[in-house]
Structure 1
Amino acid sequence: MRLDTANPPQSRAEHLKLVLSLMLLAVLLLPSTGAVKRFLVDKGFVATKLSSKEKAMQLAANVIASPYSYFTAKTDLPLIKVDIKYQDWLQLEEDRRSAFERGIIPENRSQVTGSVYFGKEKYAAKVRLQGDMLDHVNKADRWSLKVELKKKQAMFGSRKFALVAPSVRVNQGPNLFAKSLAVSGFDIISPKNIPVKLVVNGADWGVMLFEQAFSQDLLAVNNRTEGLITRLDLLAESTNSKGEVTRTLKPRVLQQKTILANQALANQRQIALALLDDFLTGKRPASDVFDAARLGQYLAMVDLWGAWHALTWNNWRWYYNPHIAKLEPIQSDVAVTPAEHIWLMKPPSHRFALSKAMLSDNQVKAHYLAAKQQLVTTLESKLIPELERYDKAFIKSLHQDSPLLAPFDYHVMKQQADCWQNNYLSTQCSKIAEVSSELHKQMDNYQAKANWDLHSRLNEHNGELVWHVTNSEAVPLTINSIEGITKRQEIALLEQINDELPVSIVPGETLALNLPARLSAISARVALKGKKSEAYYFQKETAPLSFIPRGGMKPFVSEQYRHFIAQEGNQWRFKAGEWEINDYLVTPANTDVMIPAGTTLKFARDAGLMVFGKFNSQGTATAPVVMTRQQNTSKWSGLSVFANDENTSHQVDHLHISYASSPKLGLWKPRGAIYFVKGNVNMNTVKITDNQSEDGLNIINANVNIYDLTIKNALSDAFDCDFCTGVLDTSEFTNIGFRSGGDGIDVSGSTLTVKHAKFNSVRDKAISAGEQSQLIVSDTHFNDVNFGLVAKDNSLIEAHHVRASNIQHKALMSYSKKRIFGPAVMRVTDYVCTDSDCNIKQTAELGSELLVNGLTIRTEALDVKNLYNTVMKSDKPK
């Protein structure tokens, strides 16, 4: 329904004439009323000086330049239309009216249904007001709207996003900050901010920013494994007689309902929140909680831009990396500005309580100083030239509605960097002050309050299983039901216990509930007062941080291994021979592990090896290194290797691994039996057989150079490579996914060359490329596989000399599974299929592309969801 009266469209000249008239009025009224100031800000004016005279001169110059800016503006922007029914629109108007009464947009706000139109598509959506402060809604239109598309649809790689006026985010500021990170090679997650044209209920709202929300989509398009995002909430605030502010903060995850519904993410939630709580309470240093390198780089960039706003407690966002069990900073509300009197400030990271605590850690400080030096050194030769080019191009997308907008003055950045480098000791620099209390009332001290479930435990006591529930919250919590889980993953309904529920626990009270001793875990539905009931998972004898992957403090778990493992400085040298290991061995940080030719290591069920540093298997063709189970057990707990950094190189020669499983250590649960994270992974003749975990070989964020890889009898997937680059030459995959279905090679966000590969008896896909991967495949043969070569989710596969036989479903497929990525492309030459019905075993979904031997395969509608619920359905082992 249109809420406006249709008017004849204005010509560009008429529109400019009106804008210039209003600007002239604004100049005459300086210092002006609030309404005129808001008008100027909305049109892109940002005062870079403090005095009224300098503001007037700047405005005059911007007005003079505005006709050129307007007529050279980029006008072919993406068009988004939002339609909301009248009665629903009234709810948004009521929230806006309430915001003006309270001085802030209410936390509990209406979420209404609407329709979003983009291109030729129509999307069902939920819409509400976005933001907290009144600048989001203080204009007649162009309010900030939060949009969530339904049915897993996506636009610009996002299902959840905000539409905000550029002035709310200081126009090009967020994009300039993100561009600085990219140019500097700092891999920090940064939300997209894309200029679009917006029409709401028929009314032209002009140019707005499409702002990506903090969600799983943001992680996926930034090449991060599925995880979660955390933030801090304010529970209480107090001020003492000295005026010092103390705040009580509580960590939480975003999208908690979604997180708790996924077992793996629920486990990650407990670890992430416990880590944050330990940092806030001083139990753990920052480098043991956060990715020290990325945190140091982020803080350095914040200081270069004077982006103090990013450091306030409520603007921090962190991604929990499930591989290393650490938190990464996410660019959030940096509010960088060209205003010289704000941009020029002493490092705000040295002033804010949380960032000060982070920088008190020597590792974080070292990475901060390294990033600072890099920025200062490359500022004039690289960073500023790149920013100037990007800035001039980007603001053309905003000029149609913001003709007063000008590029940043990067001489200010140069001055900031020079003063930062010489510690503000020069006469000019000494005048630069700390972040002003007029900008932000900071906290002097902070304390933390952990979630109730982090204080609660499921432990065995005197032969009985007891669940101790501690209510650390400020409101009562109610236990509504409990479901038991046995060691074999069987469900126990616990009718007798549930008959006595629900039961409420007041703040500060602990309740002990006796449960059947046969249980290994429980899932309990619990609700805090005023909140909906949610399912929480508790594992027997497992605190959230009972195990996380960290370098051990001691050289060995037990003295019994000293006769065949020699510690020399930062090296572990194994002795050739056959040895039994009955413990899970964890090396100290920065350790080089060397296993000589002819060594056989036999592990007990819960035993394994975790290396922090460099791994070197020195096997030969006649004397390989062997890692396997002991005779009296069915499996062992695998090999995990964490590189020191991306430059660490592992050399793995003639290694035979069998019957390995991923470690089951606390709530940290990696997928791979053999697991490499970061660095350069060089492999030559590696055999992996009879693995007992989700992935046989799992490599994350690494450069790979693998020759002669054999994986046989894999329980599920054989080789999973996420965010990798490199070559896999000469490989063979046999009997893959025999229990639960699995792929031979499964890559995400990777650039990989695969040649001379053979696949026999693969229950799912031989090669699967997803999440913007690029694969070059050559001299490859598929036999007896469900699916051969599959490109999905904006991936590209270029294949040559491919042979296929005994294909159960499809030999070649191209489609989109995750709509945030979009369609895929596959081009295959010299392709031969020996099956009688090969012509129907090639499929491309509408929008994707499949080219086979020079012929384009006709696209068709494909029910991808049904595909994964039937012939591609997997039952991964837990």
Structure 2
Amino acid sequence: MKIKQTPRKQPPRVTKTPRKKLRMACFFLVFVGVFVVGFFCGIKYRNALVGELSVRGFTKRSNSFTLGAKNFLRTLPKVPQRYLKASPAQKIYLNIKFKHLSKLQKKRSEALSIGHLTKTDDDYVPAEVIINGETLAVKLRLKGDDLDHLRGNKISLRVKVRDGKHIFGMRRFSLQAPHTKGYQAEALIHDHMRLEGIIAPRYFFVDTYINGSRMGIMAVEEHFSKEIQEFHGRRESVILCFDESLMWQSTNANASAGVFENYTTATLRAFHPSRIEKSPQLQRNLQTAIGLMRGFLEGKLRAEDVFDIELFAKFFAISEIWNTLHGLRWNNMRFYYNPITAKMEPVSFDVNANYVEDNSLLVLQHRFATLPRHMMQSPKMKEAYVRNLHKVIQRLVEGETISTLRKNEQGYLQILFGDTPLLGSFSFSNLVKRARTLSQITVDNYATYVPKMVFSQFNYPQIVHAYLVKEPTKHIEIHNVSDVPIEVVDIKAQKAVSCSLPMVIAASPFGQKLQYHCVDYDFAAQEKIEITVRLQGNEKLHKTVALHYAGVQNSHPISPQPLMQILRENSFLFWDKNRRCVVVKKGEWRVEKYIVFPQGIQVRIQSGCKLYFAEKAGLLIRGALLANGEAQNPIFLQAVKNTWCGITVLEANESSQLTHVHIHNTSGHLLPHWSITGAITFYKSDVQIKNCTIAHNSCEDALNIIHSQFLLENVHIHDTISDAFDADFAEGIVKGCEFFQIAGDAVDSSGSKIKIYNTTIRDIKDKALSFGERSKVEARNIHILRSGTGVAVKDNSYLEILQAKFTDIKHAALMAYIKKNEFGPAEIHATDVEIIGKKNIIAQTQSTIVLNKKVIETQDIDIDKIYKDGYMKKKR
């Protein structure tokens, strides 16, 4: 790693002069000569030469010298044209002080000596990044497990941007040599994942300099911050992985991972724990997510109870088609917990196209795909996999997916050719060929093979996990993570622990669930409990401090109740055989319990029905909701006494309809391990709501529509303690509606496309209209009166508003600004707009407001301060 020691604040100008181009041409001629000489210097040297060419992108990866030579000679004539026409990459300059650079070099030397990189939080050093003339403070450390990330000039780095700023719309990302993950192939696989709706990190290429010395083209890979969730239209939640530290500790001690090449010996952890600690909702999500995963690992829950099997089926299918194993190894798998469905979703990560399987076995049957094999034991998971595999293959064979990927590849190659002009394009014909072969897979002929693996005695870095678990009652769990029995010889706590010692815990065979004992103990919140154990027959003692951990969940938080049980316990419901749906009988009824309907069951509420819900009662429907009242005979849904939970419709196959329905006194869904922000929520469920009223809501959103198409016509929402209507990544129309007496925002959207017509909004404490995260909105004939802020457009959102009237706006009638730096400026075009009272228009620098054909002058605004301490601070 040859890097200058003195940082240079100003980036150097780099131009390709004719002399430099001549030098490059000479270089390639010399290289050809070396290649030819190598051919005659013995097989050992020839293979080494081909390997070096491959690493530098001069040939396709191949174990065959002959094939490597053919690829090299076939591509060589294209070099001059590629080099001259290579597209310039975005330049990024890193400045690192000498003492901090020395720390990185010392860590690199340590990794090269032991064979892999070990990482701690103390490895980070401060630095500066200069991009587009802007200097940003960052922290960085070395990145990667294997040494291919640290050899040569292109060292891999993990970068954290400081002070709430972003680079490329990201706060955390990696810089790594393109060859470490197969050049453009890694980006293409992630692109394919996103085409199928799977979360995948952004992956692209930049031209990188350190202290004025050019490292060259490097790959940028997004890390697991909340920005990756926002980019994919997901609600902020937690992303889990298995802690692989024991695997690497065992590798250091034994030159092999041994029994720790095993997800059952690994503790689950979440990324960015400090952010989670600050949010009670994220803490609840984390507890539920770990509890569900533990329930699956313990055999208490099925795969379909814990995982979104449709998304995992696509994830497995794409991995199989691309023949990549690396992203399916347990220590590389990442899991996003969807707080709405209470299911885990896959996050594509480190698929690493360098590691393809050259055998005829399915990747999912590989001995290292242990966790996917476990999941595939579920018949529903296997059926979903085969069904989605065929769908993904069909889209590939028909050419639409390939066309998109080819276009993306051309953009990647035009940048990569600047450093590696002999780099070959990806063989999409081979990809389609493998896909056609895989199309023969059926549920019946799909088979798994689990090998028996035997390991010798190891120097165990740890032999137990000890957890403090609150549910169902407080207790200590002691897990044996070794493959031999252990003895618990002491439990040191503030109070006496009721158990007989020594306690023997059976061995945990490789690939099977861990053996453990539970000890009842009422521990204090901050109590330190130390467990002392030893391997049976060994006098060496191992001590560990018990950590707080989520308990095993025996059921999914929103498991559907059997239909017959629902009908038996709720006499006001009956099954309509002709229409195959549940129908609410006419009349007035009390709903005493929370009802969770099975998947695909349609629910009909007849005109004139009045349902009175107990405080913890509500409806969760996984089919269409059809509540069609009449003007003179409406439907009423309200509380028996003070409040009730509300209604959630999840992933319905048909559109829901609500007409002449009055919904009052909702408080939101807060079950023991599941909660969402909306009282009335439609998630991936299209809906039409007409002539309805939603009033007296006491949770975050009175109405929340997510990833759905909608129509709100003549809907009245009033008297809510927070937001009235929230559209997240949805598309629809708001027509002839009225929102009033709202303590939060009247209409709030993220990433949505909305048209708002003939709507009145009054008496709003916060914002009448609030659009963010690339929302596109068209508004016509809007009247806003007595509101904190009239219209707020932020974060790369666009609003076109025509014929609007603002009356008595307290702070600003129109605002355009950036709240989240990763999105960028906003834009408002307002025509035929009348403002009565305070005429305050605020356009933050870089954002745009055009009011009645006049461009409003921009100004610097501290938006963070306004949200934290100013008039946009939420007061609940």
TM-score range relative to shorter protein: 0.7 to 0.9
Q: In structure 2, how many angstroms separate the alpha carbons of the residues matched to 1:696 and 1:534?
A: 42
Q: In structure 1, how many angstroms separate the alpha carbons of the residues matched to 2:573 and 2:287?
A: 38
C-alpha deviation, 1:374, in angstroms = 2.3
Q: In structure 1, how many angstroms separate the alpha carbons of the residues matched to 2:664 and 2:464?
A: 42
Q: Percent identity?
A: 26
Q: How does 1:135-150 map to 2 (within 5 A)?
A: 135-139=148-152, 141-150=153-162
* Alignment check: 8 A CA contact 1:477 1:526 kept: no
C-alpha deviation, 1:831, in angstroms = 1.0
Residue 218 of structure 1 aligns to a residue in which SS?
Answer: helix
C-alpha deviation, 1:616, in angstroms = 0.8
Q: In structure 1, how many angstroms separate the alpha carbons of the residues matched to 2:763 and 2:30?
A: 75
Q: How does 1:215-234 map to 2 (within 5 A)?
A: 215-234=225-244
Residue in 2 that maps onto 1:594 = 604
C-alpha deviation, 1:5, in angstroms = 11
C-alpha deviation, 1:288, in angstroms = 1.3
Q: In structure 1, how many angstroms separate the alpha carbons of the residues matched to 2:823 and 2:615?
A: 40
Q: In structure 1, how many angstroms separate the alpha carbons of the residues matched to 2:208 and 2:214?
A: 6
C-alpha deviation, 1:514, in angstroms = 7.7
Q: In structure 2, how many angstroms separate the alpha carbons of the residues matched to 1:257 and 1:5?
A: 32
Residue in 1 that maps onto 2:79 = 66
C-alpha deviation, 1:557, in angstroms = 5.2
Q: Residue 870 of structure 1 aligns to which amino acid in structure 2?
A: D
Q: How many residues align?
A: 805
Q: Residue 682 of structure 1 aligns to which amino acid in structure 2?
A: Q
Q: How does 1:324-335 map to 2 (within 5 A)?
A: 324-335=341-352
Q: How does 1:636-785 map to 2 (within 5 A)?
A: 636-644=644-652, 647-737=653-743, 742-785=744-787
Q: In structure 2, how many angstroms separate the alpha carbons of the residues matched to 1:64 and 1:43?
A: 17
Residue in 1 that maps onto 2:643 = 635
**In the TM superposition, what whole-angstrom CA distance separates every residue of 1:188-214 from its partner, at most 9, and x where no partner exists?**
111111211111011011111111112
Residue 373 of structure 1 aligns to a residue in which SS?
Answer: helix
Residue in 2 that maps onto 1:133 = 146
C-alpha deviation, 1:306, in angstroms = 0.4
- The answer for unaligned runs of 5 or more in structure 2 is 456-461, 482-487, 496-504, 506-515, 532-541
Q: 1:859 to 1:450 in 2, by over 3 A?
A: farther
Residue in 1 that maps onto 2:67 = 54
Q: 1:821 to 1:417 in 2, by over 3 A?
A: same
Residue in 2 that maps onto 1:265 = 282
Q: In structure 2, how many angstroms separate the alpha carbons of the residues matched to 1:527 and 1:256?
A: 22
* Alignment check: 8 A CA contact 1:556 1:585 kept: no
Residue in 2 that maps onto 1:830 = 832
Q: 1:400 to 1:548 in 2, by over 3 A?
A: same
C-alpha deviation, 1:668, in angstroms = 1.4
C-alpha deviation, 1:597, in angstroms = 0.2
Residue 318 of structure 2 aligns to a residue in which SS?
Answer: helix
Q: In structure 1, how many angstroms separate the alpha carbons of the residues matched to 2:29 and 2:683?
A: 58
Q: Residue 470 of structure 2 aligns to which amino acid in structure 1?
A: S
Residue in 2 that maps onto 1:204 = 214
Query: Is 1:322 aligned with 2:339?
Result: yes
Q: In structure 2, how many angstroms separate the alpha carbons of the residues matched to 1:195 and 1:12?
A: 22
C-alpha deviation, 1:452, in angstroms = 5.7
Residue in 1 that maps onto 2:562 = 553
Residue 691 of structure 2 aligns to a residue in which SS?
Answer: strand
Q: How does 1:506-585 map to 2 (within 5 A)?
A: 510=519, 512-513=521-522, 524=526, 548-556=557-565, 559=568, 561-566=570-575, 568=577, 571-585=581-595
Residue in 2 that maps onto 1:869 = 868
Residue in 2 that maps onto 1:122 = 135
**In the TM superposition, what whole-angstrom CA distance separates every residue of 1:254-273 from its partner, at most 9, and x where no partner exists?**
12232223111011001111
Q: 1:173 to 1:829 in 2, by over 3 A?
A: same
Q: In structure 2, how many angstroms separate the alpha carbons of the residues matched to 1:532 and 1:816?
A: 47
Q: In structure 2, how many angstroms separate the alpha carbons of the residues matched to 1:434 and 1:548?
A: 30
Q: In structure 1, how many angstroms separate the alpha carbons of the residues matched to 2:259 and 2:124?
A: 39
C-alpha deviation, 1:307, in angstroms = 1.3
Q: Residue 643 of structure 1 aligns to which amino acid in structure 2?
A: E
C-alpha deviation, 1:793, in angstroms = 1.0
Q: In structure 1, how many angstroms separate the alpha carbons of the residues matched to 2:832 and 2:466?
A: 61
Q: 1:249 to 1:577 in 2, by over 3 A?
A: same
* Alignment check: 8 A CA contact 1:526 1:536 kept: no
62, 82, 100: which is aligned to 1:88?
100
Q: In structure 2, how many angstroms separate the alpha carbons of the residues matched to 1:657 and 1:32?
A: 78
Q: Residue 718 of structure 2 aligns to which amino acid in structure 1?
A: K
Q: 1:48 to 1:117 in 2, by over 3 A?
A: closer
Residue in 1 that maps onto 2:415 = 397
Q: In structure 2, how many angstroms separate the alpha carbons of the residues matched to 1:333 and 1:771?
A: 27
Q: In structure 2, how many angstroms separate the alpha carbons of the residues matched to 1:775 and 1:750?
A: 8
Residue in 2 that maps onto 1:848 = 847
C-alpha deviation, 1:758, in angstroms = 1.1
C-alpha deviation, 1:130, in angstroms = 0.8
Residue 633 of structure 2 aligns to a residue in which SS?
Answer: coil
**In the TM superposition, what whole-angstrom CA distance separates every residue of 1:721-748 from its partner, at most 9, and x where no partner exists?**
11101111111111001xxxx1001111
Residue in 1 that maps onto 2:372 = 355
Residue 234 of structure 2 aligns to a residue in which SS?
Answer: coil
C-alpha deviation, 1:694, in angstroms = 1.2
Residue in 2 that maps onto 1:462 = none
Q: Residue 335 of structure 1 aligns to which amino acid in structure 2?
A: N
Q: 1:557 to 1:860 in 2, by over 3 A?
A: same
Q: 1:845 to 1:601 in 2, by over 3 A?
A: same
TM-score (norm 1): 0.84
C-alpha deviation, 1:534, in angstroms = 13
Residue in 2 that maps onto 1:280 = 297
Residue in 2 that maps onto 1:44 = 57
C-alpha deviation, 1:818, in angstroms = 0.9
Q: 1:603 to 1:171 in 2, by over 3 A?
A: same
Residue in 2 that maps onto 1:421 = 439
* Alignment check: 8 A CA contact 1:452 1:473 kept: no
Q: Which moved more, 1:79-88 or 1:247-256?
A: 247-256
Q: 1:732 to 1:347 in 2, by over 3 A?
A: same
Q: 1:546 to 1:286 in 2, by over 3 A?
A: closer
* Alignment check: 8 A CA contact 2:7 2:97 kept: no
Residue 124 of structure 1 aligns to a residue in which SS?
Answer: strand
Residue in 1 that maps onto 2:511 = none
Q: In structure 2, how many angstroms separate the alpha carbons of the residues matched to 1:874 and 1:525?
A: 36
C-alpha deviation, 1:572, in angstroms = 1.3
C-alpha deviation, 1:154, in angstroms = 0.4
240, 252, 255: which is aligned to 2:269?
252
Q: In structure 1, how many angstroms separate the alpha carbons of the residues matched to 2:755 and 2:844?
A: 25
TM-score (norm 2): 0.85
Residue 169 of structure 2 aligns to a residue in which SS?
Answer: coil
Q: In structure 1, how many angstroms separate the alpha carbons of the residues matched to 2:493 and 2:870?
A: 40
**In the TM superposition, what whole-angstrom CA distance separates every residue of 1:75-130 from its partner, at most 9, and x where no partner exists?**
2x211111111001111001100011110012336110001111121111111001
Q: How does 1:607-626 map to 2 (within 5 A)?
A: 607-626=617-636
Q: In structure 2, how many angstroms separate the alpha carbons of the residues matched to 1:681 and 1:317?
A: 33
Q: Which moved more, 1:370-379 or 1:680-689?
A: 370-379
Q: In structure 2, how many angstroms separate the alpha carbons of the residues matched to 1:5 and 1:796?
A: 41
* Alignment check: 8 A CA contact 1:42 1:402 kept: no
* Alignment check: 8 A CA contact 1:658 1:688 kept: yes
Q: 1:610 to 1:531 in 2, by over 3 A?
A: farther
